[in-house]
Amino acid sequence: MNSVLVIAPHPDDETLGCGGTLLRHKAEGSYIHWLIMTGLFEQNGFDVQRILSRKEEIQKVAENYSFDSVLQAGFPTTRLDEIPLGEVIGFISNAIRSIKPDTIYLPYSGDVHTDHGVVFTAALACTKSFRYPYVKKVRVYETLSETEFNIRPDTVAFKPNLWIDITFYLANKIKIMNLYEGEMNDHPFPRSEKNLNSLATFRGATAGCEFAEAFISIKEVV
């Protein structure tokens, strides 16, 4: 049976980037695993109630996806660029060696949030075939409010080369996204139901289906 790992810099990135695809993987019989790289802590300015509510959100989201495992690295959110890269690589490497996924989903390196770039760089170091021979597919997802907001002229735009039909899974993806308190709002807020629908419609139009998620495939061994 196939094993899929999504690496999320923050809880909600997995749903924004590839929620429909994860639901499809699960429906088609794959094991799915969730690695969350950062968390909320009092020493970084978050109150206890928010920390507890985030813990509950993660649990509810995990149940709705029926994840086979959830791992949390516990690095402080928004501060991954302050952590020695070797530590981040080490945690991801251990997770990959434990799960042995054949497919990995990563955030885009050009996202405006620095945490996303660090996770991409660290995770990519853990996909070498001679060290992780079971990793056959590495796919990069786009994240609303992060990918499209990097408007630096020297940054390469997100250019997908893989589209996955999520027509039967978009409604559930949006339902799961709404489990995250305060992360969704009304249009024109980037993370709105309208915008999630619009992006899926746009990607679907390119792929010739009703709704799709788009990826950059950087490794595909078949």
CA–CA dist 219, 88 (Å, integer): 21
C-alpha span between 18 and 52 (Å, rounded): 25
Q: What is the pLDDT of residues 47-87, one digit of tens each?
A: 899 889 999 999 999 999 999 999 999 999 989 999 999 99
Residue 1 pLDDT > 90: no
Percent of the chain beyond pLDDT 70?
100
Confidence of residue 130 (pLDDT cuts 50, 70, 90): very high
What integer pLDDT is reported at residue 156 of this predicted model? 83
Per-residue pLDDT at 151: 85
Using 50, 70 and 90 to split pLDDT, how confident is the model at 150? Answer: confident
- Whether the pLDDT of residue 93 is over 90: the answer is yes
Q: How do beta strands 137-141 and 212-220 pair?
A: antiparallel
Which tokens go with 163?
A: 């589209």
Q: DSSP readout, 73-106? A: EEEETT-GGGS-HHHHHHHHHHHHHHH--SEEEE
Output the pLDDT for position 152. Answer: 82
User: Is the distance from CB of 165 to CB of 211 less than 8 angstroms?
Assistant: yes
Average pLDDT score over residue span 128-149: 96
In the predicted model, what is the mean pLDDT of residues 3-8? 98
Residue 167 pLDDT? 98
Q: What is the mean pLDDT of residues 91-95?
A: 98
- Predicted confidence at residue 43, as pLDDT, reads 85
Query: How confident is the model at residue 95, as a pLDDT?
Result: 98
CATH 3.40.50.10320 matches 3-220: yes
The whole-number pLDDT of residue 46 equals: 82
pLDDT in tens, 154-194: 888 899 999 999 999 999 999 999 999 889 999 999 999 99
Q: How far apart are CA 199 and CA 137, in angstroms?
A: 24
